[in-house]
Amino acid sequence: MVQLHFLVVSFPAQGHINPSLQFAKRLIRIGAHVTFVTSNSAHRRMTNTPSLEGLTYAPFSDGCDDGPKLGDFHFIHELKRHGSRALTDLVVAAANDHQKVTCIVYNFLLTWVPELARDLHVPSALLWIQPAAVLDIYYYYFNGYEDVIDRNNNDPSFCLELPGLPSLTCIDFPSFFLPSNTGLHVLSLFRELIQNLEKENKARVLVNSFEALEAEALRSIDKFNMVAIGPLIPSAFLDGKDPSDTSFGGDLISSSMDYMDWLNSKPEASVVYVSFGTTSALSKTQEKEIGRGLLECRRPFLWVVKQPTENGKEEGEILENMEELKKYGMVVPWCSQVEVLCNPSIGCFVTHCGWNSTIEGLVAGVPMVTFPQWSDQPTNAKLIKDVWKTGLRLNLSEEGLVKGDELKRCVETVMEEESGEEMRKNAKRWKELARG
Ligand code: UDX
């Protein structure tokens, strides 16, 4: 029998690599061969790449050896130029080796892949790494709602009703719709993506979500064939079929795992885990407020603070109260987040609501305190609070900051006996439903 052969092509960023690699592992488990394709610069930095029979890596030069500059159009173009050539070579070589490519699976910032796949006469499928609801929103924006959204995106009383979705106000929109949007070109990529999908008859969209979570959103667009294939989470924390699969395996940062012993020493549901993902950077003033709030909670915490790459002087301000922070918690530059969230000691997740973080929090059954930054994150925060009812959203002060007191208020509400009972119960329910 001919072995299925998938090219899984990932945009070179952590939030894309993790679900893509996890999907690759799933394909291998059903006996397929996977060639995992990303840029050289990302591949070189991947610290713990899985070495599995049936999985080969085919990195290509993206022409930007210092690593991806997300949102930089030059980089996106270079990726297209180099990536098109690399994929073409791979498809041709595979056919010559009698390992014909069955399907090319790609992420949303690689909008050029479906056209290339058509030219190469190979089927393609989008691996959508955000919730189905967000794909729906982009679809409707480019299909009749652009004017109404653009006219009202600054009006706090405006409320948008879309099929299969909760009512959305401006603070719930993907950030690219807002007047403050600095990523107009990103919106143009979404336009291209939707247009490409519409060119196909019932385009295949594989969504990193699950039926129970997004039944209506998955069916909102008749034109697409949206299938929930998530949650894309290491098997050890989901179905247990592969107990050795405990991490995604594509970490772009390496770190010691000292924090695991520390977590294991803490009582059940006692620790606050804080992380704002890989693409956002909080201001030093904001970080200070987060630190103040965490200290005031008087609970153990694990806080991921990215190593600053510039302005070391400002960083000193955080380090100044590091001694005090260390009395209650740990501050680390990186951790294996999925392992942390699934540790029984975690009682609350303070998150930026990147979709991977959100779905990891749901699978772990941990209630969330949300502080969305950009992209799909505001919509994800809305779903967490009002649809799945498993968390709260932090309010901003007049200066646009989340103050320490606000963080303390939300963490306490979520973690304490009565106030958070419903949210904690819902979190446990999603944990069960995620397992199917
Ligand atoms: C970006 C966008 O912000 C997000 O909205 C979009 O859905 C995907 O791309 P990012 O900021 O990287 O994502 O956040 P997220 O989607 O949560 O992905 C981060 C991944 O890195 C998660 O899988 C998380 O488990 C992992 N991670 C993060 C770690 O393993 N350790 C860390 O210390 C931080």
Tell me the domain boundaries of the chain: 5-132+175-228, 254-434
Output the pLDDT for position 366.
98
Tell me the per-residue pLDDT of 17-39, one tens digit each, with 9 for 90 and over: 999 999 999 999 999 999 999 99
Token reading at 414: 């979520």
Residue 375 Cβ inside 6 Å of ligand 1? The answer reads yes
φ/ψ of residue 427, rounded to 5: -60, -40
Q: Is 201 exposed, middle or buried (0-12, 13-18, 19+ CB in 10 A)?
A: exposed
Residue 246 Cβ inside 6 Å of ligand 1? The answer reads no
Q: Name the helix (H) or strand (E) containing 33.
A: strand 33-37
φ/ψ of residue 393, rounded to 5: -110, 135
3-class SS letters over 280-301: CCCCHHHHHHHHHHHHHHCCCE
Compute the distance from residue 354 Cα to the ligand 1 centre, in Å.
6
Residue minimizing CA distance to atom 4 of ligand 1 = 354
Compute the distance from residue 415 Cα to the ligand 1 centre, in Å.
24
C-alpha to C-alpha distance for 7 and 395, rounded to whole angstroms: 43
Compute the distance from residue 15 Cα to the ligand 1 centre, in Å.
4
Output the pLDDT for position 73.
74
C-alpha to C-alpha distance for 104 and 46, rounded to whole angstroms: 22
Residue 193's identity, in one-letter code, is L
Q: In terms of CATH, what superfamily is 5-132+175-228? A: Glycogen Phosphorylase B; (3.40.50.2000)
Compute the distance from residue 357 Cα to the ligand 1 centre, in Å.
6
Compute the distance from residue 122 Cα to the ligand 1 centre, in Å.
30
Mutation pick for ligand 1 pocket among 278, 352, 355 (CB with most ligand atoms within 8 Å) = 278
Residue 335 Cβ inside 6 Å of ligand 1? The answer reads yes
Q: Which CATH number fits domain 254-434: 3.40.50.620, 3.40.50.2000, 3.20.80.10, 3.40.50.970?
A: 3.40.50.2000
pLDDT in tens, the chain (436 residues): 789 999 999 999 999 999 999 999 999 999 999 999 999 989 998 988 889 999 999 999 887 766 656 556 778 888 899 999 999 999 999 999 999 999 999 998 999 999 999 999 999 999 999 999 999 999 999 999 999 999 999 999 999 999 989 999 999 999 999 988 776 688 999 999 999 999 988 999 999 999 999 999 999 999 999 999 999 999 999 999 999 999 999 999 888 889 999 999 999 999 999 999 998 889 989 999 999 999 999 999 999 998 765 444 444 556 667 788 888 999 999 999 999 999 999 999 999 999 999 999 999 999 999 999 999 999 999 999 999 999 999 999 999 999 999 999 999 999 998 989 999 999 999 999 999 8
Residue minimizing CA distance to atom 7 of ligand 1 = 355
Say what the ipTM of the complex is: 0.98
| CA dihedral (63, 66, 70, 73) positive or negative | negative
Compute the distance from residue 254 Cα to the ligand 1 centre, in Å.
15
Residue minimizing CA distance to atom 20 of ligand 1 = 15
Active site residue 74: no
Output the pLDDT for position 314.
45
Selected catalytic residue, list 5, 16, 33, 43: 16
Output the pLDDT for position 417.
82
Output the pLDDT for position 436.
85
C-alpha to C-alpha distance for 208 and 262, rounded to whole angstroms: 31
CB neighbours of residue 43 within 10 Å: 20
Residue minimizing CA distance to atom 13 of ligand 1 = 15
Q: Does residue 251 contact residue 340 with C-beta atoms inside 8 Å?
A: no
Output the pLDDT for position 70.
56
Q: Which atom of ligand 1 is nearest to the CA of 355?
A: 7
Residue 420's identity, in one-letter code, is G
Residue 294 Cβ inside 6 Å of ligand 1? The answer reads no
Output the pLDDT for position 31.
95
Residue 379 Cβ inside 6 Å of ligand 1? The answer reads no
Residue 339 Cβ inside 6 Å of ligand 1? The answer reads no
Residue 278 Cβ inside 6 Å of ligand 1? The answer reads yes
Same fold, 5-132+175-228 and 254-434: yes
Residue minimizing CA distance to atom 18 of ligand 1 = 15
